[in-house]
Structure 1
Amino acid sequence: MKGREFKDTIFEQFARVASALASPKRVEIIDLLSQGERRVDSIAEVTGMSVANTSRHLHILRDAGMLTSTRKGLQITYRVADESVVAGYVALRTLAESRIAEVNRLAEAFFSEIDGADPVGLEELLDRYEAGVMVVDVRPRLEYEAGHLPGAISIPLEELSERISEMNPASSVVAYCRGPYCVLAAQAVAKFRSAGFQAERFAGGPADWRAAGLSLAIGDEA
């Protein structure tokens, strides 16, 4: 193989990964599966697509080496291939945030209407841990059990209104969900504040935690 042929071939392989991510829905699928494995029907429900369309997108991502799958009967479960996929997704998101101004404008306009406050960054959250902040994971229980921030308690958003009365309103709360563009945490912060809590949103999620080299807790224990 000559030098030119080698370069053309190797860059073609890089482009396969870029092509696999050249769809908003496929990027959303990676974001979702960075929380933990899911069945096809579950992915379809969360992303608002038909099962057939979801399967097509999943096949493209799997063929690019970004996902793996297992079959049990008629059910197929997908997961990210390894940590490099999560790191690559976070890097892609960070690149878009730094080079496309519309990303930050959209996020600021949207979230200011819900919780009206700047989110807490990773370093600040680590400092809050030392101060004894209550960290609340408002994702579905399945995602919490697949991997959550150490010490976080699980209160899925749909349960928050019912369970908030059990909590001490003097507590300082930081809520998080799937990542910086997940709306669940912002909605939770609004509910906490309306109940008299000092509450803020973490500007990240499990993928950001992992990308920083920090370990997640697994299972149903905080």
Structure 2
Amino acid sequence: MKANIAKSCLYEHVARIGKVLSSPKRLELIDLLAQGEKTVELLAEQAGIDMRLTSAHLRALREARLVETRREGKFIHYRLSGADVGRLWVNVREVAEEHLVELRVALEQMAAAPGALSAESRESLLAKARSGDIVVIDVRPEAEFAAGHLPCARSIPLAELEQRLAELPLGKAVVAYCRGPFCLMSDQAVALLRQRGYQASKISDGVAEWSAGGLPIEN
């Protein structure tokens, strides 16, 4: 009897992680924090929810030991408690994509848009970027790029892309990426680049997917 109680207690501890991941907004916050450390204010803005609700979600994530904090003046900065938390998010998303038809359909609709997801393997993409055959651009905010980015990528945030087109050679293919398959910034970047005559496409990977796949991240 005691052994059964102890065993149930073990499952209960593991279930704490499952419970905290049951909120779509908490998953989104983990995805955002996989891009780098952020303040509560910035997370609220990027997740599109108010400060009070953001703080409540972050408190739940902290109680589950999935995030950590540091204080700088009056601001509290949040970060993932380890790279394994980022991998957990990627693994959960990939399992959902494998088993949920609805999710696959939604992603396929995104892939069918202009600038369809590139079928390029990560290793092939990395080799082409290093050889200069393609130009890889990171269209996330600059602070996220500084926290970690794909090798050989250039930081050109989406908000600055139109003003910085001269930095991109017209004769080379441009590959854009952002925060992963649920992020639409790279789609917007590809649409703009194609309007301006560039050969542009996107990859669905972000730094979390790249890291989970065992490939290098630079910062």
TM-score grouping bracket, smaller chain normalisation: over 0.9
Q: Deviations over 1:116-173 (max 9, x none)?
A: 5233442442343355211100000010000011110000001111111342111111
Give the corresponding residue for 2:87: 87
Residue identity opposite 1:117 in structure 2: A
Instruction: Tell me the TM-score normalized by structure 2.
Output: 0.94
Any gaps of 5 or more consecutive residues in structure 2? none
* Matched residue SS, 1:180: coil
Mapping of residues 1-222 of structure 1, within 5 Å: 2-113=2-113, 115-120=114-119, 121-129=121-129, 131-132=131-132, 133-218=134-219
Tell me, in whole angstroms, the C-alpha distance in 2 between the residues paired with 1:80 and 1:180: 20
Contact 2:115 2:200 in 1 (8 A): no
Contact 1:119 1:200 in 2 (8 A): yes
* Matched residue SS, 1:79: strand
* Matched residue SS, 1:92: helix
Contact 2:126 2:151 in 1 (8 A): no
Tell me, in whole angstroms, the C-alpha distance in 2 between the residues paired with 1:11 and 1:60: 19
* Matched residue SS, 2:193: helix
Any gaps of 5 or more consecutive residues in structure 1? none
Contact 2:149 2:217 in 1 (8 A): yes
The number of aligned residues is 217
Contact 1:136 1:176 in 2 (8 A): yes
Tell me, in whole angstroms, the C-alpha distance in 1 between the residues paired with 2:126 and 2:72: 40
Residue identity opposite 1:49 in structure 2: I
Residue identity opposite 1:81 in structure 2: S
Note closer, same or farther for the CA distance 1:153–1:130 as it changes in structure 2 (3 Å cut). Answer: closer
* Matched residue SS, 2:175: strand
Please state how far the C-alpha of 1:194 moved relative to its aligned partner: 1.4
Tell me, in whole angstroms, the C-alpha distance in 2 between the residues paired with 1:125 and 1:87: 21
Contact 1:111 1:186 in 2 (8 A): no
* Matched residue SS, 2:140: coil
Note closer, same or farther for the CA distance 1:129–1:165 as it changes in structure 2 (3 Å cut). Answer: closer
Q: Deviations over 1:87-124 (max 9, x none)?
A: 111110110000001112112223534x2523344244
Please state how far the C-alpha of 1:2 moved relative to its aligned partner: 2.4
| Most deviating of 188-197 and 87-96 | 188-197
Residue identity opposite 1:159 in structure 2: E
Tell me, in whole angstroms, the C-alpha distance in 2 between the residues paired with 1:73 and 1:195: 44
Contact 1:179 1:207 in 2 (8 A): yes
Contact 2:20 2:64 in 1 (8 A): yes
